[in-house]
A and B are shown apart, each in its own frame.
Chain A
Amino acid sequence: MADKPLAVKKFKPQLSSQIMGTIPRIMILLIMGTVLAITSPHFLKPMNLINLMAMASIPIVFGLAQTIVVLTGNIDLSLGAIFSMGSVITGLIMKNMEFVPIPIAILAGLATGALMGFFNGILMAKIKLPSFIGSFALRVAVTGIANAILQGYIIYAFPENFRVLGLSRVWGIPVPVYISVVTFFIVWLILNRTKFGRRIYAVGANSEAARLSGIKNERVIIMVYIFAGILAAFAGILQTARVNSTHAFYGETSLLPSIAAVVIGGTSMFGGVGGVFGTVIGAIIMNVIQNGLNLLGIPSIYQQFIVGIIILIAVAIDQLVRNYTTKKVR
């Protein structure tokens, strides 16, 4: 009897700290925006800002997928491959089977993502592989399959009805922005207002305690990976609609920025701490950085290098703060 209110009580401070935790990140974003506005006259132009929002919307959806996995204390390195695979399947159906309605093609892509996520979940929950090894292995296998299907070709030129998803605007704002906002709210509601969301946090914070209190850890982890797989495939399909092409290594470049967004957003790599709002800020910060690099004329060849540095700095700061506040006994 006494257990239940206690659990709810314990959970509440986490929500407020989640919001408090994002304040310094919003400050960083504002500072970066100010600096860019001063150094580059193009930054504050409405065209650039709208473009920035549209560019950030897909990384946000993708980052949400990574966040829910990281919240359980795992990681999913195969999300980039799932991103590619989802868009490749949808693209192939649209190009080769024109009689199939577009929503069905999209659903097939999402189902592929769910299936990949399910494999991930089995690897981590049932076979008990460490998540970074299991998901990395799946990433190699899935990328290999996608490459074998396409044989190195690029699929492009999709029907107009599909490209509406990525290109058209409503009240001057691109559709992907609306989609990312809606997706964010759905994931936020699931994480903060449902049993499933509470279980995700519980498993991530202390999986043994979660198991002892009656949570089926394995099922939660499998569900989380499926959920993340669907979101990643969705992000891939959106990107295809925007860019009008897809290929087997489509998502590989998006994986690291998404992890960086999660880390910058304050979600702990150890699980249980953080949330999706931080990730949204993190994804926007990553995009402002990339946008800034472009505006400042830094060649794209350096961008991978810079993303690597950003990840290292972000995790180092995160860890230093954690070491300072928790005074870990070593």
Chain B
Amino acid sequence: MQINDSIKNKNITTRLKRFIDNLPPLTWVVLALIIFFTIFAPGFSKLSNLANVIRRESTLWVIATMATLLLISGGLDLSLGSAITLSGVVLALMLQAGYNAAISSFVAILSGTLIGVLNGGLVAMLGIPAFIVTLGTMNLVDGLALALTNKMAIFFDNPTMVYIGAGDILGIPIPIVIAVVIFIISYILFHHTSFGRYLIAIGENKEGTHLSGVNTKRVTWLIFVYASTMAGIAGVVLASRIQTADPLVGVGWGFEAVAAAIMGGTVRGDGKGDITYTIIGVLFILVLRNGLTVIGLPTELRIAVVGLCTLGGIIFDRLIRRREI
């Protein structure tokens, strides 16, 4: 259905119109928030602040994109945050052991891939519900990261990694460049390959997709592997940015990623959703968190407010959408 639509609407203006029509209802809330903070929090819209914020939240964007792809195919990965933690820890340990930046990053990203192999294998081959599998791996991996680091953050100052975390390409911070590249790859994968169409098909009707000759198990497995690998990359970038492997850094990211996907209108097990709209969900969390920081809310209160507003955002999206139907 979606394929037919996209063929019909080759015209740019009709496409743009359709894009705006399909924007999640939360978009207007995000715009209102931006206006609110620009007026009441001087410094919120300063360029240096914005660049820092986007550099920081590029991690969330990457894993939110992954969470969206997983949700669309009827999966879920609560362990994405743990993949971020583990790859950072592995990176720091490898650097500490004297390996160079390239090999260390490769192994670190590979550690993320392995989490995906484990998750996808258990979900696709055995048919265990994804949330319980990923809940298990979340603890396994978080525990592993704690054990590997002995509960302490590891600092490193390898110049290549510091450059990846803090440097620019053509004036654009590298973490943002990497996040954009990952987004474009995912966009092409989702919209212009058979793999992307299978994801939607599996999300809509797994049995039917299987019967029409798609190897659903392989697709399910691959999307878990892809998601965890990209989370691994995000983890390497994050660790490079803060020059620290913190065994607790990933706690909370996994939830925020899923929340951003849902606020962007992704419906699990319905084949509905688009990684482009997930950006709105990411923006909501980003604007709120940064705006409240600039206003000067104490940390504990800010976390509580962001948590509550995220819950509120999910409910808001669902209630408005249900009225439309």
Contact = CB atoms under 8 A, between A and B. Distances in A.
A210 B300 CA distance: 43
A327 interface: no
Given A75-B131, A144-B308, A305-B146, 7 more contacts: A136-B258, A304-B139, A305-B144, A308-B138, A309-B136, A312-B136, A328-B127
A305 B143 contact: yes
Contacts of A291: none
Contacts of B255: 136-137, 140
B97 interface: no
Given A151-B300, A152-B300, A315-B128, A305 B258 contact: no
B143 A307 contact: yes
B143 A141 contact: no
A303 interface: yes
Given A127-B319, A303-B143, A319-B126, A141 B304 contact: yes
Interface in A132-146: 132-134, 136-138, 140-141, 143-145
Interface in B130-158: 131-133, 135-144, 146-147, 150-151
- DSSP class of B's interface residues: helix, strand, loop or mixed? helix
A141 B67 CA distance: 20
Contact residues on B (Cβ < 8 Å of other chain), bracket: 35 or more
A144 B312 CA distance: 14
Nearest to A260: B136
A208 B162 CA distance: 56
Interface in B95-150: 122, 126-129, 131-133, 135-144, 146-147, 150
B306 interface: yes
Interface of A: 75, 77, 123, 127-130, 132-134, 136-138, 140-141, 143-145, 147-148, 151-152, 256, 259, 263, 269-270, 301-309, 311-312, 315-316, 319-320, 323, 328, 330
Contact of B140 (A136, A141, A305): A305
B146 A301 contact: yes
B143 to A, nearest CB: 3
Nearest to A119: B311
A323 B122 CA distance: 13
Contacts of B305: 144
Contact of B304 (A77, A147, A256, A301): A147
B55 interface: no
Contact of B318 (A75, A128, A147): A128
A127 B78 CA distance: 21
Interface string B62-95: 0000000000000010100000000000000000
B80 to A, nearest CB: 13
Contacts of A330: 127, 207, 210
30 contacts: A77-B135, A127-B315, A129-B318, A130-B268, A134-B314, A136-B255, A138-B311, A140-B255, A141-B304, A141-B307, A141-B311, A144-B306, A144-B308, A152-B300, A256-B135, A269-B128, A304-B143, A305-B146, A305-B147, A307-B143, A308-B139, A308-B143, A309-B136, A311-B139, A312-B122, A315-B128, A315-B132, A316-B128, A328-B127, A330-B210
A147 B298 CA distance: 11
B169 interface: no
Interface in B287-325: 298, 300-301, 303-308, 310-311, 314-315, 318-319
A219 to B, nearest CB: 19
A144 B307 contact: yes
A87 to B, nearest CB: 18
B140 A308 contact: yes
Contacts of B303: 144, 147-148
B179 interface: no
A190 B262 CA distance: 36
A328 B132 CA distance: 20
A141 B305 CA distance: 8
A110 to B, nearest CB: 23
B252 interface: yes
B259 interface: yes
Contacts of B78: 132, 136
